[in-house]
Amino acid sequence: MNEEIIELKGLTKRYGYGDTESFALKDFNLTIRRGEFIMIMGPSGCGKTTLLNIIGLLDRATDGEYTLNGENVASISTTRRAKIRAKKIGFVFQNFNLIDNLSILENVALPLVYINRPRTVRLQNASDALARFHLQEKEYYHPSQLSGGQQQRAAIARAIVSDPEIILADEPTGNLDSRASNVVMEELKSIHEEGNTIIMVTHNPALTTYATRVINMLDGQIDTDIKTVADHNLPQPIEKRNKKRKRSRRRRNN
Ligand SMILES: Nc1ncnc2c1ncn2[C@@H]1O[C@H](COP(=O)(O)OP(=O)(O)OP(=O)(O)O)[C@@H](O)[C@H]1O
Ligand SMILES: [Mg+2]
């Protein structure tokens, strides 16, 4: 069975003090296994983005524990957080966060700077990622010259370009028509089938057919949590699968 990669225990995010005190997350508990495709739903303001930002190491909880790949990451240094994030996590933001004075190609190549890939490799990988989302003709455009849907697809290409094992996506299909939305979901599906873990926020119940688990949030807590695929049936990471295949081949040959 795939190992647990994310464990959140008693996570709390508080804003303000005294009369203005409010909680975006309240004693939030969640364990995620490698290979899960989780969809998070819930009304506006219930804490979905806050949760993704904390899991993605972009924000810190006020209280509670966060274990990522067995490492307690709740209180590690900002530099270490940035390093882990660059290596392991791809993030699709609710508002894209593309940088307008860079071309689309340079935007998508950016995560590879942080893991020290040479420039030619960066541009080639970025170009391949853009092609997956049918944006190869827009490589040299700037974000403001693209439609909302195209910007969203570019933002997803940027999130997957470094081949991260965890993809966090905040409404990645929110601005897309159904055709473009299908392209994105099929792409996420194939990334998931490679054994990666996806946590995606959506308001569209029709998309939950792609998920292995659907979590409904309410007021900073989990309201319902339903697994539609059993833990032992989650896709395995590719390296493991290859090892297994090699092993059975060896057995056959003996
Ligand atoms: N910087 C901040 N200061 C104070 N309150 C904040 C801050 N950021 C978020 N909040 C509050 O935390 C709560 C959760 O916000 P969050 O953005 O996580 O909601 P959400 O579920 O993603 O909503 P949406 O579906 O509208 O994107 C909200 O009530 C919000 O007002
Ligand atoms: Mg949000």
Res 130: pLDDT: 96
Sketch out the chain's domains with CATH numbers: 4-253 (3.40.50.300)
139-192 pLDDT, tens digit per residue, is 999 999 999 889 999 999 999 999 999 999 999 998 888 888 888 899 899 999
Secondary structure class of 106 (helix, strand, coil): helix
Strand order of the sheet with strand 213-218? 89-92, 166-170, 197-201, 37-41, 213-218, 221-227
Ligand 2 centroid – CA 45 distance (Å)? 7
Kindly report the pTM of this predicted structure. Answer: 0.91
Ligand 2 centroid – CA 170 distance (Å)? 7
Residue 44 predicted with pLDDT over 90: yes
The interaxial angle of helices 148-160 and 119-132, nearest 10 deg, is 130
Q: Ligand 1, atom 31: nearest CA belongs to which residue? A: 45
The Cβ of residue 188 has, within 10 Å, a number of other Cβ atoms equal to: 24
Question: Of the residues 12, 15, 20, which should be mutated to test ligand 1's pocket, given the most ligand atoms within 8 Å of the CB?
Answer: 15
**CA nearest neighbour of 31 among 47, 10, 50, 49:** 10
Spatial separation of the C-alpha atoms in residues 129 and 109, rounded to whole Å: 9
Q: Is 202 in the pocket of ligand 1 (CB under 6 A)?
A: no
Strands (E), the chain: 4-15, 22-33, 37-41, 63-68, 71-72, 89-92, 166-170, 197-201, 213-218, 221-227
Least confident of 2-16, 57-71, 160-174, 231-245: 231-245
